[in-house]
Structure 1
Amino acid sequence: MPAPLLWLGASAIAILAGAKYSNDKQLKESVSSLPGSLDTKILPVNGAIVTCGVYGLFEHTGIWVDGNILELKGNGLIRGISPNRFLKERSGDYIYIACDSNNVPLIQSDAAERAISRLFSYSEYDLIKNNCHKFVWHCISGEDIPLTRFSALNQKIAERFATTIHWHPAHY
């Protein structure tokens, strides 16, 4: 009986490794500097796109507004939280901001307003179909399309702003 379980575990690891490789390849096409690769700290501004790591496997994203981060929580609540709370119970020690090559945060003029308009509402959370990346993309674009992975969000952001993304640590 243990042998089938070992094969099942090995299969799951292979699938995760393949997804990680695919994710990394897509990221390289739209991102010049991954989170954690730059030292220059950037002051967040309203509407900035932010991210932090989740146990080295995933990234969590949100929109910066008035010293807080608006996010879609795993229970479906759209809320505003402090930067420290954004990092709490996640593996990342830093919050990163999406910037262009001149260290200017990538901001869509009405992203903060869209995020604020959804505060304290619920959106049926689904890791694949309705996650934090979809929420962030909706705030940026107004579009309601599923974005499962961080790499897909990066690709959409890079296309929207016609630039590669440089993820800088936030100075707050």
Structure 2
Amino acid sequence: MVVAAASVATNSACGAVKSVFKNTDTKVTPQKGSVLYCDLSFGIAEHSGIYVGDNRIVHLNGKGEIEAVSPAEFLSPFALQDIYVSCMGNSAVGSERVATRALSMVGKKRNYNLVMNNCHQFTTGCLTGNFENSSNLLTFLKMQAKDTLGADTWHLWDR
């Protein structure tokens, strides 16, 4: 989970980017290795993870534990009920390699920090293999998803 207070400064510059990339009209089913995210606390913050198949999502929780969870578990009590999926056009995009990287981290623990070592950095690490990256905001994760997966929009998960 990442508090948007850190991203408030980027909201004016990135607000247009977020609205362009987030589409609530089309619903999709994620592919293995798709990047997923949900809004927390009415859009003040977001949470991200990687879809690994069989209705499981690998994420870094607020205790620093990397775990595979159901969509219901991924949506914390503070989350809205929508999960967004990385897409190219109207089709979900993912990567077996990304899913494999995510699964290889399950059971490990990281020194979680809301701002400097959070779920977005973990999810970016699944995309790149570099878990010590500086992508601590959803905006940076989305840019990496575009580079790695070709994701150019985000659609609702049809679940």
* Equivalent in the alignment of 1:167: 154
TM-aligned CA deviation for residue 31 of structure 1: 6.8
| TM-score (norm: length of structure 2) | 0.85
The partner residue of 2:48 within 50, 58, 61 is 61
Normalized per residue, which structure has more strand? 2
Which whole-Å CA distance do the structure 2 matches of 1:95 and 1:24 have between them? Answer: 23
Answer yes or no: is 1:153 the counterpart of 2:106.
no
Of 57-66 and 88-97, deviating more is 88-97
Check the 8 A contact 1:128/1:146 in 2, yes or no: no
| TM-score (norm: length of structure 1) | 0.79
TM-aligned CA deviation for residue 80 of structure 1: 0.8
For these two proteins, the number of residue pairs brought into alignment is 153
Which whole-Å CA distance do the structure 2 matches of 1:134 and 1:19 have between them? Answer: 14
% identity of equivalent residues: 28
Any runs of at least 4 consecutive aligned residues in structure 1 with deviations exceeding 4 A, and if so which? none
Check the 8 A contact 1:52/1:59 in 2, yes or no: yes
Q: Which runs of 5+ in 1 are unaligned?
A: 1-14
The partner residue of 2:77 within 74, 89, 113 is 89
- Opposite residue 28 of structure 2, the aligned amino acid is I
Q: CA RMSD in A?
A: 2.3
The partner residue of 2:93 within 106, 111, 115 is 106
Which whole-Å CA distance do the structure 1 matches of 2:33 and 2:129 have between them? Answer: 13
DSSP 3-state at the match of 1:117: helix
